[in-house]
Amino acid sequence: MKALKYFFTLVAVVLVITACKNETSPETKTVDFDNQTEEKSLNPDANYIAAKFEIDGMMCAMGCAKVIEKNLAQMNGVKKAEVHFESKIARIEYDEAVVNPDLVMAKVKQTGDAYAVTSWNGEAVSQSEEKMVE
């Protein structure tokens, strides 16, 4: 009986040691991604237009206003973009040959569904114009 007890103890120890031992090395995966962003080009001879518009739906300065500002500034043909959270007003300078108000409104909407341009240069943007942008 003692021999059987020692045998089962030895088998249990061997099973624990071999079961816990994982000799396979962890799998390492490398992911290649193309981080080539398109260079923004500005035409120095272009006719740049300044526009001021109101954006509704912003809840915070850093998470909303700065993200919209960054996305607008990265658009091709946009020279300058500023978004002020407190006043909900955005100012943009853009090349009229490359960018138009519809593209700007689409970019704001693309940034987040909660954001909407409600006025452009002091004139209210109608719901039908806003739906055309979507």
Span 61-102, pLDDT tens digits: 888 899 999 999 999 999 999 999 999 999 999 999 999 999
Q: What domain range is 111 assigned to?
A: 48-133
Does 26 fall in a domain?
no
CATH of the domain at 95: 3.30.70.100
Q: Over 70: is that where the pLDDT of 29 sits?
A: no
Pairs from 18-24 (Cβ < 8 Å, separation ≥ 24): none
Does 5 fall in a domain?
no
Beta pairing, strands 78-84 & 89-95 = antiparallel
Does 6 fall in a domain?
no
Does 15 fall in a domain?
no
pTM value?
A: 0.65
User: By mean pLDDT, which of 9-13, 25-29, 60-64 is the weakest?
Assistant: 25-29
Number of independent structural domains in the chain: 1
Looking at residue 52, the DSSP 8-state letter turns out to be: E
Does 104 fall in a domain?
yes
